[in-house]
Chains A and B, each alone.
Chain A
Amino acid sequence: MTAAWDAESQLLDVDKLNQRFGRIVACRDVTFHLHAGEVLGIVGESGSGKTTLLNCLAGRLPPTSGHIRYAMRGRGLKDIYALSEPERRMLMRTDWGFVTQNPRDALRMGISAGGNVGERLMVNGARHYGQIRAAAHDWLTRVEMDTGRIDDAPATFSGGMQQRLQIAKTLVVKPRLVFMDEPTGGLDVSVQARLLDLLRGLVRDTGVSAVIVTHDLAVARLLADRLMVMKDGEAVEHGLTDQVLDDPHHPYTQLLVSSVLQA
C-alpha cells in the first residue's frame, strides 16, 4: 500500500473478499481500504470481476467469504453483511449512493425528473413539497441540466441527461460513499468529457468518497486518487493513480496502459 493513514479516517475496509459462482471465481482475496474523502478507481478488462466486487461492496451481493467493514456514523467499522437487512438498507438509502452504467436501471422512467431526485429525499422522510421541489431544482442546476425540464419524464431525455439526472438523484441526500459502475460508459466522447468534468467538480465540492469501476483509463486518471488494477478476479496492482499509470509494474497493467490510443 502507498500511504499509512491512521485507522481513524478509514471508511471502508475490505479483507480477503472472495466471490465464487460455482466453479467460476469472480473475486479472489481482494483486500484494500478506502479513506474518507478518497476516490478509488478499479480498472481492468471485461470479466475481471470489477462489477462483482462493486456489488459486494455496495451491499447488493453477499460475498462467498471475507469481510467488508464500513465506518458507520457513531458506531465505527461494522461488517455490512453482519448488519440486519433493514440496517443495511438504511445505509444504502442514506449513507451510500450507487450510479449504474445504464441510468434506466436506477431512474423511474415514468416519473418526472423532479420526482426522481425528490424520491431519495422522500424515502428518507422529507414531507415538505416546497423543500423537496427546491432541492430538486438546486440539484438539477448543479448537474447542469435545464431546470425547465424538471417536470419532464426521463424517458424524454438523452442518455447524457439521464446520467446527469441519476447523479443528481444519487447525491441529493449527501451520501458519504458513492459506488459508480462505468458512469460514463455508453456516452459519446464530448458528453463523456463534460460529465467527467462535472463529476470531478462534484466529488471535490462535496468531499464524498467514491469507488469507481471503469475500463476507461482516462476516467480513472481524471477522477481517482488511487487505482486498483484487476485481472481474473485478483487485484494485481494498486497505488496512487499517477504512479500506477505512469510506472506500471505488473505486466498486465503495462499492457493495459500501452493499449490506450494516444490522441
Chain B
Amino acid sequence: MNAAAPDRAYNFAYLDEQTKRMIRRGLLKAVAIPGYQVPFGSREMPLPYGWGTGGIQVTAAIIGLDDTLKVIDQGADDTTNAVSIRRFFARVSDVATTERTDQATIIQTRHRIPEMELREDQIIVYQVPIPEPLRKLEPREAECRKMHAWSEYGVMHVGLYEDIAQWGHIAQTYDYPVMVDERYLMAPSPIPKFDNPKMRRMPALQLFGAGREKRLYAIPPYTEVRSLDFEDHPFEVQRWDEVCGLCGADDSFLDEVILDDRGGHMFVCSDSDHCQRRRAGGHVGPHAAEAPETVA
C-alpha cells in the first residue's frame, strides 16, 4: 500500500481533538516548570509500549498541517521504529516527512539528538521509557515525589560513586541524569551521555513523553542543563579512537558495525543524515570503498 496516502478514517494525527488538547495542556505546564514530570492521560496507541507511545502522542498533539516531521531511532532514519512512526504520521495526517534534520520542524527521536545544531523554530520530541530518574534508588513513587518537591537529590550520587569505586570512572553511558535549571532532576531518556551537552541551552524546544508511565516533561529553549558529577570526577562524554568509516567524521557519535565473521568491523556515524550530508559534501572515510551496500 502507498505509505503516503492519508487515511481519512482517522482524525488528523490519529488522536481526537480533546485528547490532543489534554496533552497540550500538560505540555504547557511541563514547559512552565522545566524538568517537572506532568502526569497525563496516556492513550492506547497502535504500537506496543516501549516503541514510542509517549513520543508519538506528544508529536500527534503538536503537529500541524504545515509541519515537516523527521523520525529517528538510534540516530538513523531508516530503522524499523523510525520508518513505521514516520509512515504512521504520513498516513493519519497530511504532513510532509523528511530525513533531513535542517528541513524538519518536528523531530521525534529515540536514543539520539541529531549532530546538527537545532534551531529555535524546531521541536525535538523524545520517547521516554522510564521518566523517573530516582526509580533505581527509590522504588516508592510517593517518596520520589517528595524528593522532587524538596530537591532532595543527594542520593543520585550513590550510583555515580559505585561506578567510580568499581571502574575508576563514571561508567554510566546513557540516560545520564541531569539537573534542569538547577531545580529538577531529570532523566534525559536513553540518549548517550555524548548528547547531554547538546541539551544545555539548546535553541529548540525539547519535549519528553513517556506513554506507559504517563508522564510529560520539557526543557524550554535556552535552559541550563547540567549533568551530575563529582568535583574530582567531572562529567565527560565518550570518545572514539577511530573516525567514521564512511564520512571520516571524528566528532560524531559512532556505532560499531560488524562486517564479517573474521573480526572485521568499522565505526560509522549513528546519525545517518549527518553522515549522508558529509559524504555528499565530499568527505570520505577510510572504509568508504569497502563498505557493503547495506551499511552505506
Contact = CB atoms under 8 A, between A and B. Distances in A.
A26 to B, nearest CB: 24
Contacts of B161: 114-115, 118, 122, 129, 132
Nearest to B151: A86
A122 B233 CA distance: 14
B162 interface: yes
A22 B167 CA distance: 53
Contact of A122 (B146, B149, B154, B165): B154
A124 B158 contact: no
Interface in B201-252: 230-233
A129 B158 contact: no
B296 interface: no
Contacts of A129: 161, 164, 230-233
Interface string B147-164: 001101011011001101
Given A85-B146, A151-B165, A127 B158 contact: no
A108 B158 contact: yes
Interface residues of A, dominant DSSP: helix
Interface size class of A (residues with CB under 8 A): 20 to 34
Interface in A127-156: 127-130, 132-133, 150-151
A125 interface: yes
B230 A119 contact: no
Contacts of B152: 86, 89, 123
A127 B150 contact: no
Contact of A128 (B137, B154, B162, B230): B230
A112 interface: yes
Contacts of B158: 108, 111, 115, 118-119, 122
Contact of B230 (A108, A125, A127): A127
Nearest to B166: A151
A150 B162 CA distance: 11
Given A112-B162, A128-B230, 12 more contacts: A85-B146, A85-B150, A89-B152, A111-B158, A115-B161, A122-B154, A122-B158, A123-B154, A126-B154, A128-B232, A129-B161, A133-B165
27 contacts: A85-B146, A85-B150, A86-B152, A108-B137, A108-B158, A114-B165, A115-B158, A115-B162, A118-B158, A118-B161, A122-B154, A122-B157, A122-B158, A123-B154, A123-B155, A124-B154, A125-B154, A126-B154, A126-B157, A127-B230, A127-B231, A128-B232, A129-B161, A129-B164, A129-B231, A130-B232, A133-B165
**Pairs A-B, 10 closest by C-beta atoms:** A123-B154, A129-B230, A122-B157, A86-B150, A128-B231, A122-B154, A119-B158, A115-B162, A130-B232, A129-B232
Interface of B: 137, 146, 149-150, 152, 154-155, 157-158, 161-162, 164-166, 230-233
Interface of A: 85-86, 89, 108, 111-112, 114-115, 118-119, 122-130, 132-133, 150-151
